[in-house]
Amino acid sequence: MEGLLRQHEWRIIDQSAVGIHFQALQSFGTDDTLCASVGAGEAPATARTWVHHNTVVLGIQDTRLPFLQEGIQFLTSQGYQPIVRNSGGLAVVLDEGVLNISLIFPEVEKGIDINRGYDVMWELIQQMFADFPVSIDAREIVGSYCPGSYDLSIGGKKFAGISQRRLKKGVAVQIYLCVNGSGEKRAELVRDFYQLAKKQEQTKFSYPEVVPAVMASLSELLGVDLTISDVMLRLLNCLNMNSEHLYAGQLNEFELEFFPGYYQRVVDRNEKIAEMVKG
């Protein structure tokens, strides 16, 4: 992990305020584009922030649920848009109280092993909230949605999950941070989705038995009213401390050229879901 958060230069692409005009499919296409450009040396290490309204992001394994169409129709009836992402993991909820952060690194020298990628994000979040007298743990929280060995929690309640995407010598480490709102209510939505999409059917893959009480937002856990802007400021301060040059940027010419292709791949992967929504 040593030195990975510390970069000579950090570019920040802030899409956290674009909101309802920015679809989650575009986000995953953007991260793939950034992996390709950072991996090719066409851009420096990049942090991207994004917020999406009422979206449930499914993992590849979720698309194999026996009664997926019923689950999809339930999500849309609750006002959520279901999509399938291209990185690992299972269903997660995105809304205006959830901040997503992607850190994109070039995979140079001996490469960045999986745990090192997770560790750098854990380190970032610990630094961002170092002024609170709490311990941020990284371990699987059983009963959470999208459980993994790097669930971030405080007092046994999960507020964030981390995934990774590797492409073209670039590594994207992605986290969703439940900043405010009810962690339990988000978990109830995912629990109900799985109950409808799986029922009592036996499946080769083990889907989580979601227990809403083990999930919470940072505002709930820290006892303060945090906004997305508050957390953005903490992120910017942290990246500034870990670089000689932090600057705000947008997609460069290389990235603008390649984005349509990567975006189309994500759209193609989601055609099946789109059909189910109509059905």
**Token digits for 257?**
């050229």
CA 201/CA 65 separation, integer angstroms:
9
The pLDDT score that the predictor gives to residue 47 is 98
CA 251/CA 245 separation, integer angstroms:
18
C-alpha distances in angstroms, 194 versus 175, 197, 208, 272?
Answer: 22, 5, 8, 18
Top-tier CATH class for 7-278 = alpha beta
The domain limits of the chain are: 7-278
Q: Determine how many CB atoms are found less than 10 A away from the CB of residue 37.
A: 26
Looking at the chain, list the stretches that DSSP marks H as alpha helix, in order from N- to C-terminal side: 24-39, 68-77, 114-128, 183-198, 218-222, 228-241, 253-269, 271-278
pLDDT along the chain (279 residues), means of 10: 82 86 87 95 96 93 93 96 83 96 86 84 97 97 95 98 90 95 98 96 91 98 97 97 95 96 91 70
**8 Å CB contact between 9 and 245:** yes
Catalytic: 146? yes
**8 Å CB contact between 212 and 249:** no
